[in-house]
Amino acid sequence: MNQQQIAVPTKNPGEVYIPALGKTFQQVELREDDVFDTVLVASGAQAVGTQYIFFRDITGKNAQDTNLPQPRRINAGDEVAVFRIGIHPRESVGNTLPTFNDYRKVVSTATLLVKFNRRIICDEGPVVKWPSGLGMGGYSDETGATAVSIGVPSAAAAPTLFVPQQLKDNDDLFGVMYFQDASGWISGYTTPSLSAAMRVSLFLHGVMKAPLGK
């Protein structure tokens, strides 16, 4: 006597067919992690309107720079419930070390906007609004050195979104950091000039759902 299989794997990762129900189901794994990307902010004067766009250019980047498999999209079949957005100026570009003043200029004068498709999940605002909870803490007695992060380098201290935002594999990610003019109300205002190039990473932290067997 032949015994009918309870669950039959399909050709899709993590998907099984239940003959008794006549339906397919997706087996998934959940983990807490980040979707992230990094831009290189050029040295020198940051002209009004200068934009640094996240998630768009991933060619040549590796695991320390981004974890996107393709521009603007997460892995096929994945979903993310994003509950924290954080931006972090990285401490070095290889052997090049941006100065503390460079950090202060970017954090204090740059603006960030993040969207999924055309939906704004954060109002536009200063970079300082979005600490990542990452970065170095403490102090150094090395000449010209300091430990820098936006806010406290503690994930528990980083603020979360009141309503988590759902990111699906067919959503287009859009993030841009840019510099605006303030001369209209600050006499003699000039946009910042950086002494060295600086990497800046944008992290979308949340709960990721991916098909089992992927």
Assess if residue 13 is contained within a domain: no
One-letter amino acid identity for 62?
Answer: N
Q: How many domains does the chain have?
A: 1
Return the percentage of the chain with pLDDT > 70, whole number.
Answer: 90
The domain that contains 156 carries what CATH number?
Answer: 2.60.120
Q: Look-up: residue for tokens 């996107």?
A: 68
Q: Does residue 203 contact residue 85 with C-beta atoms inside 8 Å?
A: yes
Structural domain containing residue 63: 29-211
| 203 within some domain | yes
Residue 21 has pLDDT above 80, yes or no: no
pTM, 2 dp: 0.86
Rounded to 5 degrees, what are φ and ψ at 184?
Answer: -65, -25
77 falls in which pLDDT band (50, 70, 90)? confident
| Domain annotation covers residue 17 | no
In a domain? residue 16: no
Whether the CB-CB separation of 107 and 127 falls below 8 Å is answered with yes
Residue 23 lies in a domain: no
Tokens coding 64 = 């320390």
- Does position 1 have pLDDT exceeding 60, yes or no? no
The DSSP secondary structure of 86-113, one letter per residue, reads EEEE-S-BTTB---HHHHHHHHHHEEEE
**183 domain-assigned:** yes
Task: Give the residue-averaged pLDDT of 2-31.
Answer: 74
Could you tell me the CA-to-CA distances from 75 to 84, 98, 164, 170 in Å, in that order? 19, 33, 19, 9
